[in-house]
Structure 1
Amino acid sequence: MLVVALAGCGQERASSETGATSVCDPDDGGLTLADGFCATVVAEDLGTTRHLTVAENGDVYAAVRDTADDTGIVALRDTDGDYKADRTEYFGDGSGTGIGLHDGYLYFGANTAIWRYERSPGELVPSGDRELIVGGFPEQGQHAVKPFSFGGNGHLYVNVGAPSNACMEETRTKGSPGQDPCPQLKQHAGIWQYQANATGQQHSPDARYASGIRNAVALTWNDTVGNLYAVQHGRDQLHQFFPDLYTQTESAELPAEEFFKVDAGNNFGWPYCYYDWMAEKKVLAPEYGGDGEEVGRCDKFEDPIQAFPGHWGPNDVLFYHGDQFPEKYQGGAFIAWHGSWNRAPLPQEGYKVTFTPFDGAQPSGDYEVFADGFAGVDTLRAPGNAEHRPTGLAVGPDGGLYVSGDENGTIWRIAHVGTREN
């Protein structure tokens, strides 16, 4: 195991509303935040940190991809109350993206299986052997990550991404028609429902919960309304494959990144359809005869509850139910945007955390930028220029919001401290 000691200087900022103090970095860890918030760098240089979760005692766990020694989980502990990790350990077998705590176990989503480790009180690194919860997910080159969420009645919901961009007959090939029906929908491109506490389950078409979702790295259960939600990565390269139908600028903005309220049996239309956020309608994909305007069969698929500009890269979504943030944030959704690679000739976008207010099960207003500055540059032409790319969200026991980034392996904690004084 690798153990790293981390330290840093913070400053206390008092909340004008509660009188409490929060230790935050003088520069907010390089972030630009909504008024009344500050940030601390919990740890950095951790590797390709993806999703994360926080235990009741404040221990932080993050899934890690592409580690040199093939250990897929990093565990962090703050021992002196400054919210900076001074104990860091790596463990597990294989890399992954999904991670979560449930009923005394730490769950981990590798590309082809969901595992869990029993976590005894006081343990930073679980001492027990790992157990298989769901195995048998197909090997795939594209969209192989297995994010998951725990839902009502002891269920585990797992994203199984599509192994292609648009189910073309010749993958990512100019002018190629789509396969109709798309055979990938049998075992991919949707969300599957399994039992959270049953071991040895195998991936099966019979366990499909919802369909027509290209890849939902951002997946969460909202306890307040008892419903599953997901944000989809939209398809790519409309202009590259169909230049007679789409300009480069149109291809940069389309299709929308779609925010779904997911109910059992829903079908959201991939690969046959995509959502045009500017026209506010779902239209037929060009692989299936669409011209950018025709609706065709798409009127029978579910629409998103909110739509965002194309290619921002939604990588996590979280409904806030902590007791630290002001009332406007209660029950609303934070989304971590990993950032685009394919918005040329426009600047690349995403690389931020947004907030959408909710009233019950539906958005009650437009989204707003909550945390920015992750990219570190004003104008991006390629994702490799970004200093950080947000990937994961979690709420700590005191209501602070944790954000991970997989470029340079950084985790921040964002706290509410009242209105800033200029």
Structure 2
Amino acid sequence: MRLFLMTALTAALVVSATSAGAQAVPTPRPLPAPEPPATVTATRNEPAALAFTPDKLSRLKVPAGFELKVMATGLGNARSLLVMPDGGIYLSRMKQSDMWYLKDANGDGQIEAVERKQVAQNMGTAHAMSVKDGKMYVAGEKNIWVMDMAKDGGLSVPRVFATGFPDAGQHGARGMHWGPDGFLYAAFGSTNNDSPTPNPEEATMLRISPDGQSREIYSSGLRHTIGFGWHPVTGVLYGWDQGSDWHGDNIPPEELNVIERGKNYGWPFCYGDKNPDPYVNVSGIPGQITKPEYCAATTGSTLNYTAHAAAIDMIFYTGSQFPAEYRNSVFEAFRGSWNRNEPSGYEIAHLSFDANNKPAAVTPFVTGFVYQDEDGWKQFGRVAGVAQYTDGSLLFTDDQSGVLYRVLYTGGK
């Protein structure tokens, strides 16, 4: 009897183990579809950096009827701008990990040393800023901070609003704005050029709850969308995405995307209007489908611009100081290339919209920072932040020499 029970128990264990083993066998995955070899010709061409001096101002060009002025110099790594209704200007500086408050108190069009004050420090890679309900929010690499704002522009000690964001890698600049729905939108770039990473929040735009306690991946496949915003009339969310490096002079282009919830914009396997990137390994595609099949299921760009121009910030212009045709259009800062045979970017560009409030064309607006002479390519400005001033003029920064520029419409006066 005992022998029978042991035999039966042993048989049951064998059956149980066999069943468990059968369940543990993974489902075979198909091998990725083969792709032909691709050879890329890439160029590292970083124009020689020159410091800003007043004589260089004559090199800069703006459209007829506009005037370009220098509002401040010596600002260090001047990145993002945020203009307050009273004319105060907040400035973030990534390399110095701090923030400044600037104000032209005497109205002379210049911001002197006595009109500047440091209002926050020790904020690693502080970049994008956004204000809500009298509080300042600042995005860095791993944290978003919040501070109380004083009437004189001062800020309280930073408190962590949200944390645990992806590593920066080569893309430490974060874009961030409070959305019209009351949620905070923040974009986090990829840590590389060609490969998806285990962290699902990389190369995405996140939508963060008003209390900072929860968040969702709003959209993905965005290599590095720093500048974004909502159209003042249609409410459509647009963003400029930076394309990958080392894929040649002309691909991938800089992309203007209509950013929508749940959409995948293709990086790293696709660029532009769902074009497969021949220089990205197919082995990382989820499901091991072909690259064209994967790209067909993504969302293509709305408009493209010159490759490697390095889109870094944008605003919708809502003022009246410029001619009427500029209202509700976009001004975009392109910081400039370093891996293109003929440099691109180093400019403020203008994105026009048609009568139906659809993006129409991108044209240069402020140019001349980069030029070629007998000694090769040179540049004296890497544009970064862009903002609308209280009178409707346009402000933008140069984070290389620390210059704050101002563009006014004079109509030829």
Given the two structures, how large is their TM-score scaled by the length of structure 2? Answer: 0.78
Who is 1:373 aligned against? 368
Rounded to whole Å, the distance in 2 between the matches of 1:338 and 1:220 is 18
Gaps of 5+ in 1: 1-24, 168-181, 239-250
Rounded to whole Å, the distance in 2 between the matches of 1:379 and 1:102 is 51
Gaps of 5+ in 2: 1-53, 284-290
Matched, 1:37 2:66: yes
Relative distance call for 1:386 and 1:324 in structure 2 (3 A) is same
One-letter amino acid matched to 1:36: G
Who is 2:349 aligned against? 354
Deviation per CA, 1:372-421: give whole Å up to 9, x if none: 12336569966xx421111111111211111011111111111111135x
Asked whether the 8 Å contact 2:183–2:207 carries over to 1, the reply is yes
Asked whether the 8 Å contact 1:347–1:379 carries over to 2, the reply is no
Relative distance call for 1:91 and 1:379 in structure 2 (3 A) is farther
Rounded to whole Å, the distance in 1 between the matches of 2:142 and 2:331 is 27
- The alignment-based identity, stated in percent, is 26
Rounded to whole Å, the distance in 1 between the matches of 2:311 and 2:375 is 17
TM superposition shift of 1:106? 2.2
Match of 2:169, SS state, is coil
Who is 1:306 aligned against? 303
Listed as ranges, the matches of 1:15-414 within 5 Å are 31-67=60-96, 70=97, 72-86=98-112, 87-92=115-120, 93-94=122-123, 95-121=125-151, 123-126=152-155, 128-167=156-195, 182-184=196-198, 186-195=200-209, 197-199=210-212, 201=213, 207-238=216-247, 251-275=248-272, 282-289=275-282, 295-343=292-340, 346-359=341-354, 360-363=356-359, 365-375=360-370, 385-414=378-407
Rounded to whole Å, the distance in 1 between the matches of 2:249 and 2:311 is 16
TM superposition shift of 1:125? 2.1
One-letter amino acid matched to 1:50: R
One-letter amino acid matched to 1:147: G
**Could you tell which deviates more after superposition, 370-379 or 328-337?**
370-379
Given the two structures, how large is their TM-score scaled by the length of structure 1? Answer: 0.77
**Could you tell which deviates more after superposition, 373-382 or 145-154?**
373-382
Deviation per CA, 1:22-57: give whole Å up to 9, x if none: xxx998675311111112211112111111111111
One-letter amino acid matched to 2:370: A
Which is bigger in relative contact order (C-alpha 8 A, separation at least 6)? 2
**Could you tell which deviates more after superposition, 220-229 or 53-62?**
220-229
Deviation per CA, 1:200-228: give whole Å up to 9, x if none: x36x5xx1100000111222233322232
Root mean square deviation of aligned Cα:
2.4
One-letter amino acid matched to 1:186: P
Larger radius of gyration: 2
TM superposition shift of 1:287? 2.3
